[in-house]
Amino acid sequence: MNTNRTRTRVAKTGLAALALTMSFGLAACGSDDSSTATDAPADTTSSTPAEEETSPAEEESSEAPMGAADQVFGPACEQVPADGDGSFDGMATAPVASAASANPLLSTLVTAVAKAGLVDTLNSSDGITVFAPVNDAFAAIPPKTLKAVLKDQETLTKILTHHVIAGQLSPDQLAGEHETLAGDMLTVEGSGEDFMIGAEKATVLCGNVPTANATVYIIDTVLMPS
């Protein structure tokens, strides 16, 4: 009897110890899970759109692009239409002969270019500078002389190509001696916004006008080849 009681006590003691051990294990697991959930660091890397920095590219794109009218100079520039094909922005998208045809200051020149058969030549040229006499410059030529020249295609072509040089020259490149499409030389003096062109000392009325394939300087005098 005593032996049986001893075995019973041992068995009960073992079961109690096992239950106690399992309860401690479960508690420990619960404690670890809770610690993991509560101790995880918060994600501080995200930010709202308002807090994000603007990149240099985004800053540049927010600036208004420079228009064609922003680069021209001269007293006659204000006579150029503010919008449409004849405006500075309109001319900038067309080849030079087509661009000139939309500018009311250059209607006589456009007529002369058409009579000389130079429209396609000028429109297809790759990078040129054109000195474009205004209507008043042609009006200063005696009517009889002008009429005769407009009928003489060879002479007219030589005069008009004397107004064209290779390369699209900005104002700081303009001064110097340049070969014309007529094969002779044309001298430009001056700097900044003040220039004198050729032996006639023509002045720039509206300069640095961009077209699709040329830079145009509208001048007050028709230039004559030597």
Q: What domains can be seen in the chain, in order of their start residue?
A: 81-219 (2.30.180.10)
Instruction: Indicate whether 53 pLDDT > 90.
Output: no
Reported as a single tens digit per residue, the pLDDT across 85-134 is 999 999 999 999 999 999 999 999 999 999 999 999 999 999 999 999 99
CA-based nearest residue to 204, from 224, 223, 226: 223
Tokens 């130079």 locate to 118
- Is the separation of the CB atoms in 153 and 195 below 8 Å? no
d(CA 159, CA 128): 16
Instruction: Indicate whether 25 pLDDT > 90.
Output: no
Q: How far does Cα 140 stand from its chain's mean position?
A: 38
Q: Which residues contact 185 (CB under 8 A, 6 or more apart)?
A: 177, 178, 179, 226
Collapsing DSSP states into helix, strand and coil, what is residue 117?
coil
pLDDT, position 90: 95
The b/e string for 40-73 (b: 16+ C-beta within 10 A; e otherwise) is eeeeeeeeeeeeeeeeeeeeeeeeeeeebeebbb
- Is the separation of the CB atoms in 95 and 122 below 8 Å? yes
* Confidence at 137, pLDDT banded by 50, 70, 90: very high
Instruction: Indicate whether 34 pLDDT > 80.
Output: no
Q: What angle do CA 150, 154, 160 make, to 5 degrees?
A: 65
Instruction: Indicate whether 145 pLDDT > 90.
Output: yes
d(CA 210, CA 30): 78
Collapsing DSSP states into helix, strand and coil, what is residue 158?
helix
Indicate yes or no: pTM above 0.75.
no
Q: How many CA atoms lie within 13 A of 83 on its CB side?
A: 0
* Confidence at 66, pLDDT banded by 50, 70, 90: low
d(CA 146, CA 162): 16
Tokens 């060879």 locate to 154
- Is the separation of the CB atoms in 106 and 214 below 8 Å? no
β-bridge partners, 220: none
* Confidence at 67, pLDDT banded by 50, 70, 90: confident
CA-based nearest residue to 206, from 197, 219, 194: 219
Mean pLDDT lowest among 19-28, 94-103, 122-131, 159-168:
19-28
pLDDT, position 226: 82
